[in-house]
Each structure stands twice: as C-alpha cells, then as structure tokens.
Amino acid sequence: MLIDFWYEFASTYSYPAAMRVERAAAEAGVELRWRPFLLAPIFGGQGWSDSPFNIYPAKGRYMWRDLGRICAAQGLVLKEPVRFPQNGLKAARIALVGADEGWIAPFSRAVYLANFAGQKDISDDAVLAGILTELGLDADAAMARSQTPDNKTRLRAQTDEAIAKGVFGAPSFTVPGAGGDELFWGNDRLEDAIRWARRS
Amino acid sequence: MLIDFWYEFASTYSYPAAMRVERAAAEAGVELRWRPFLLAPIFGGQGWSDSPFNIYPAKGRYMWRDLGRICAAQGLVLKEPVRFPQNGLKAARIALVGADEGWIAPFSRAVYLANFAGQKDISDDAVLAGILTELGLDADAAMARSQTPDNKTRLRAQTDEAIAKGVFGAPSFTVPGAGGDELFWGNDRLEDAIRWARRS
C-alpha cells in the first residue's frame, strides 16, 4: 500500500496537500513517497510560460479565494506570496537530498510555509539555508550536495517520470498497480488516492 | 438559503453534479436554482476554440478516467459521447423554457443522460423532442418557445450574468450574500457551496 505524492514548491494547492498528506497516509497505514518535480517543463509543453492562474485571471481570482477557504478550514495561514509563481527549482533539488537523508517531509512543509505563509523568497539561498538550519541540518553540506550534476539530473528524471505517469499539474498522487499507475490530480483527491492504495 | 447551479450541457463534470444536486440541496433545506449557460463565449475569451480537455491531451485523458471513477461511485453509466464537446445551445434554450414551466430539473438530467450515457446527439431536434415527449410535455410548443428572440436573448443574458459573477467553468455554484456572490467551481465543491448557503 503505497502512494506517490507529486508536488511543486510554486504550486498553490500543493501547500494544503503537503501540510496534511503525511498524517492522512499514516492514519490509513499507507506508505508515502514525497516526489518533488517541476511544473515549468510541463506547462511549457502546453504552451504556457506562466502559471495558468496568471494567464486566466478569472481562474486565478477564484483560486486564491478557494485556497483561502481551504486553508482556513485546515487552520493554515495564507498570505500573498512575495511573487507568484515563485521559482522552486533550488528547493526541489534540496528536497531530493532530503529524500536520501530522511528529512524531505519537514523540509518540504517548511518551504511551503515560507512561500505561502511567511512571505519569503524560496529561491533565495539565505532563506533555504535558514530553513535547513532550523531543522538542525548542515545547510552548507545539503546545499552543496543539491547542486551536484547527479542531483540536477535526478530532478529532471523525476519530472520526466511524472510526465510519463500522465501528471499534468500539482499536486498529483499516483498509486502503483498491476495495470500501471492510477493518477489522481488535486488536493481534493488525496482521500480518493488513499482509498485506491488501500484496495490495491 | 439559496444556491445557484451553473451548468453547460457539454460539460463533463456537470453530469454527475446535475444528477445529484437536487437531492443534496433538498436534504440540506437549501433552495436551488438551475442556471444553464454557455461555456463557448467564456472559453473564447480565454483564447480557446475547443474544450481544454481536447486542447491539453494529458488533462483530457485524466478527466475521462477521473469522471469514470466519479460516475462509478455515484452509480451512473458513463459512455463515450457521440462527440466531445457536444453543442448544448438548443438544449440550454429549452431548459430556460423549463425554468418557467417547472420542468427544468428533469429535462436537464435527461439531456445529461442522453449525452453521457445514451450516446445521443443532444443538438439533434429529434433527440430533444424525444426527451420532452418522454417527460409528458408538448415538445413542439416547448421547442417553438425556446427559439423566440426573447428566449435567445435570455440565454445570452444568463451567460453574461455568470461571467459577471466570476464563473469561468462548469459546473459552478454561487451563493448570494451581502458582500456579493460566493463562487464555487466544480462538482467537488457542491457540498462546500451548500454549507456556505446554510451559514449565510
């Protein structure tokens, strides 16, 4: 019983998903894998050079209102980010280091809080180093490792894997199965994905 | 306690919403208004001359799979429509006549079943007349009334009203309030919209 959680640090609805996914999976007894990836190559393939929430203003206005309702219901602070979308590349590379070293979950949550509650620039090295230090980690070592060619390649490969699984937005959840992965898109689908994993 | 249900007969996720909205509203003691409108002018304003589910294939593939899961859970038949999207213009005009005459709900459900379960062409006069006749109505009279200039203008005005309320997709729900309408987008948001109406 396994679920892959595909997320991008710039993604608005990934914020409430990231803040609740670990507890939801644990309560259901489902193993969880944190899978950061990048939306830019996917959106680029759809002809978008910006977030669809910026390209389509009515959709964007609704999204912020809807996200506000969701965060309020979940007890999460939501403040207008310093810019939208932010560049989550460095944070995603660091998260992959955290996947190996066992701190990807708290690091990812801290990055989302910095972006959507703390009004911090998550592409700023000092902000990322601060998050790592707060978690009791060696920030310099983690950031150095995140910038190795191997780790950069790994993030590209993970994005390619997401695309191969049919992922077109974030957050997404995939549940491995005999007939291929079952895809669920959106914070709203977390519970469905967990149910699917439990019956697989 | 009132909820407006904004729907388009071509819209896939409007199908499960239309099939359950009346019962959900009634159980919650919330008044329901059926508000057909057209997506084409809205999508056109976003630069789309086709459904986004056709323009973005990965999103389209996911939508059909996701809709399949939703329909299965709701006990609804889902069969590939004769084309996607279908032209819901005539059906929407007839539905407005039904709003005056008290049969908009069963007519709308029958059109969705014809489109998404019955593999019928819902832009075909014979199909629409058949639906009206099945409901015990005078099909010729209803169709004639639906084609009057006044009724055509009314559908355009209703679409303009949807746009003014921020609607950008279907199904949507709006709840009138002192500070303006609260907008909810998607079949998933029906329960939230009903809760909002109950506390307004």
For chain A, say whether B64 makes contact (Cβ under 8 Å): no
Classify the C-alpha dihedral A158-A163-A167-A170 as positive or negative: positive
Residue of A nearest to B63 (CA): A185
How many Cβ pairs closer than 8 A exist between chain A and B?
37
Return mean pLDDT, chain A: 96
Secondary structure class of B175 (helix, strand, coil) = strand
For chain B, say whether A64 makes contact (Cβ under 8 Å): no
Task: Give yes or no for residue A117 having a pLDDT over 80.
Answer: yes
**Which parts of chain B sit beneath pLDDT 70?**
none
Among B62, B184, B188, the residue with its CB nearest the CB of A168 is: B62
CA A110 to chain centroid, in Å, comes to 11
Please answer yes or no on whether A62 and B192 come within 8 Å at the CB atom.
no
Residues of B in contact with A183 (CB under 8 A): 62, 65
The phi and psi torsions of B96 (rounded to 5 degrees) equal: -65, -35
In the block, tokens 């005056």 appear at B100
What are B2's strand-pairing partners?
B31
Task: Give yes or no for residue A200 having a pLDDT over 80.
Answer: no
Interface predicted TM-score (ipTM) over 0.85: yes
- Distance in angstroms (rounded) separating the CA atoms of residues B65 and A192: 13
For chain B, say whether A181 makes contact (Cβ under 8 Å): no
Nearest to A193 by CA among A14, A34, A73, A32: A32
Instruction: State the nearest Cα–Cα gap between B72 and chain A, in angstroms.
Output: 13
pLDDT value for A65: 97
- What is the side-by-side order of every strand in the sheet holding B182-185? B31-36, B2-7, B172-175, B182-185
How much is the pTM?
0.95
Counting Cβ atoms within 10 Å, is residue A163 exposed (0-12), middle (13-18) or buried (19+)? Answer: middle
Residue of A nearest to B55 (CA): A46
A31-62: pLDDT as tens digits: 999 999 999 999 888 888 899 899 999 999 99
How far CA B127 is from CA of B38, B79, B91, in Å, comes to 20, 17, 10
As a whole number, mean pLDDT of residues A83-96 equals 97
For chain B, say whether A65 makes contact (Cβ under 8 Å): yes
Concatenating the DSSP letter of every residue in B115-148 gives HHTS---TT-HHHHHHHHHHTT--HHHHHHHHTS
Assign A142 a pLDDT band (cuts: 50, 70, 90).
Answer: very high
Residue of A nearest to B164 (CA): A58
CB A2 within 8 A of CB A166: no
- Please give the CATH topology (third level) of the domain spanning B2-199: Glutaredoxin (3.40.30)
Please answer yes or no on whether B62 and A185 come within 8 Å at the CB atom.
yes
- Distance in angstroms (rounded) separating the CA atoms of residues A14 and A169: 10
Among B62, B167, B188, the residue with its CB nearest the CB of A166 is: B62
Task: Give yes or no for residue A173 having a pLDDT over 80.
Answer: yes
Residues of B in contact with A68 (CB under 8 A): none
In chain A, residues 108-127 whose CB comes closer than 8 Å to chain B: none
CA angle A180, A36, A191 (to 5 degrees): 60
Please answer yes or no on whether B168 and A58 come within 8 Å at the CB atom.
yes
